[in-house]
Copies of this chain bind each other. A is one copy, B any other.
Amino acid sequence: MKPSAATARAGANIALVKYWGKRDPVLNLPAAGSLSLTLDQLETTTTVVPDETLSADTLALNGQAADVSRVSAVLDRFRRQSGHAVFCRVESNNNFPTGAGLASSASAFAALVAAADSAFATRLDDRALSEQARLGSGSAARSIFGGFVEMAVGTRPDGSDAVARPLLSAEAWPLEVVVAVVDEASKAVSSTKGMNQTQATSPYYPAWLGQVPEDLQAARSAIAARDFEALARVGEGSALAMHASALAARPGLIYWRPATLALIDAVRDLQSAGVAAFFTIDAGPQVKVVCLPEAGQRVAAALSAIDGVQRLIHCRLGPGVRVLG
C-alpha cells in the first residue's frame, strides 16, 4: 500500500508522579516510572503527508517552519518498517502555547506517531505506538492513552518495555484540571536540559529516583480507591520533590515565577476551605490544579483572581491519541 496523508490528534498529559531523569539519552529511556492524566483541551493535531517530490522532510509547527530533525528520526523508523523511503511534509498545530511547560512535546509526538503509523500503514498496536512516541519524547509515550496512565521504567536494554499503559479511563473517575498559564514564553531551560543538569549536579538526584517507586505505588492505590486526598498528597509531593531536585542542582534551576507561588498559596487556601483540589507543576512556571468535578468552577474562580495569571484552560480528562483520517 502506498503511503498516503494521515492526520491524528493527541492530548497533552500532566504527570502526577513526575518524569525527571533519563537512563539512556539515545533511546530516551526514563530513569524511573511516572504516572499521568491525559487532558482533553491541550491538543496537538498533526498531519503527515508523504510526498515523493520532496528531497527532505519538512515541519511546520503552528504554521512556522521548524527544526525537523527529531520528527525525521521518528519518520525514519516508520519508513524502515514499511519499506517506503518517502519524505513527508508534517504540519503540527497546538491549540496552546508551545514549550512552556504545558507538555507540548508529549501531545506532538503522540500525534506524530499515530499519524505516521496511519500514513505508512504500519498498524502498530498501542504499546508499540507508545514505544515509538517515547523515542521522540519521553512524556509522549503516555499521551497514547487516555485518562490515568502509567509509564513503566522498563528493564530491557533496547527499551521495548519502557512503555505506557492505561490505568483507568477518564470516565471512570472524571477529574478536572485547571491550567493556570503564568507565562506563555518558552521556558529558559528545556525539560531535557533541566533533567540532565539535575542528574549531573544535584546531590538530591539519587534520592529523587529512590522516592519514585513509593510514589507510584501510592498513586496507583489512590486511583484504584478513587481516594482524592491520597492522590493530592502524592501529587503535590512528587511535584515539589521534582522541583526541589532541580533547585539543588548547581547552579540551581528555578522554573517558578512569582505567580507560581501565589497560585500554590491559593490552592492551599482552597484546601483549607475544604475544596478538593491539588496542584502540580512541570518544568515551567504554569500551575495545574487537579480537582473533583464539583470543585472545578470554584477553583477556576479563585485562580483567575491571582495577579500574573494570563489565562486559565479548564480541562477534563481526555481520550488517547486518535487518527482523524
Chain A residues proximal to chain B, CB less than 8 Å: 203-204, 206-208, 210-211, 233, 236-237, 240-241, 243-245, 247-248, 250-252, 254, 256-262, 264, 308
- Which of A204, A210, A256 neighbours the largest number of chain B CB atoms within 10 Å of its CB? A204
Across-interface contacts of A211 in B (CB, < 8 A): 203
For the complex, what is the distance from the CA of A248 to the CA of B252, rounded to whole Å?
15
For the complex, what is the distance from the CA of A259 to the CA of B307, rounded to whole Å?
12
CB distance from A143 to the nearest CB of B (A): 27
For the complex, what is the distance from the CA of A106 to the CA of B179, rounded to whole Å?
42
Closest 9 A-B residue pairs measured CB to CB?
A: A258-B258, A244-B244, A240-B252, A244-B247, A244-B248, A204-B204, A241-B248, A203-B211, A203-B207
Q: Which secondary structure characterizes the binding site on chain A?
A: helix
Across-interface contacts of A258 in B (CB, < 8 A): 258-259, 261-262, 308
Count identical subunits in the complex: 2
Are B247 and A254 neighbours in the complex by a CB distance under 8 Å? Answer: no
CB distance from A17 to the nearest CB of B (A): 14
- Which of A210, A248, A264 neighbours the largest number of chain B CB atoms within 10 Å of its CB? A248
CB distance from A19 to the nearest CB of B (A): 17
Across-interface contacts of A204 in B (CB, < 8 A): 204, 207-208, 241, 244-245, 248
CB distance from A307 to the nearest CB of B (A): 8
Assess A250 versus B233: contact at CB under 8 Å? Given A204-B207, A258-B258. Answer: yes
For the complex, what is the distance from the CA of A207 to the CA of B210, rounded to whole Å?
12
CB distance from A182 to the nearest CB of B (A): 11
- Which of A243, A259, A261 neighbours the largest number of chain B CB atoms within 10 Å of its CB? A261
Choice from B236, B251, B260, B262 contacting A236 with Cβ under 8 Å: B251
Across-interface contacts of A206 in B (CB, < 8 A): 207
Are A237 and B210 neighbours in the complex by a CB distance under 8 Å? Answer: no
Residue of B nearest to A239 (CB): B252
Across-interface contacts of A256 in B (CB, < 8 A): 261
Are B251 and A237 neighbours in the complex by a CB distance under 8 Å? Answer: yes
Residue of B nearest to A307 (CB): B258
Q: List 5 A-B contacts (CB under 8 A).
A: A236-B251, A240-B248, A240-B254, A244-B245, A245-B248
For the complex, what is the distance from the CA of A233 to the CA of B208, rounded to whole Å?
23
Across-interface contacts of A248 in B (CB, < 8 A): 204, 237, 240-241, 244-245
For the complex, what is the distance from the CA of A260 to the CA of B258, rounded to whole Å?
8
CB distance from A16 to the nearest CB of B (A): 15
Across-interface contacts of A252 in B (CB, < 8 A): 236-237, 240-241, 244
CB distance from A264 to the nearest CB of B (A): 7
Across-interface contacts of A250 in B (CB, < 8 A): 233, 237
Are A240 and B233 neighbours in the complex by a CB distance under 8 Å? Answer: no
CB distance from A280 to the nearest CB of B (A): 12
CB distance from A229 to the nearest CB of B (A): 12
For the complex, what is the distance from the CA of A250 to the CA of B33, rounded to whole Å?
20
Choice from B210, B240, B251, B260 contacting A247 with Cβ under 8 Å: B240
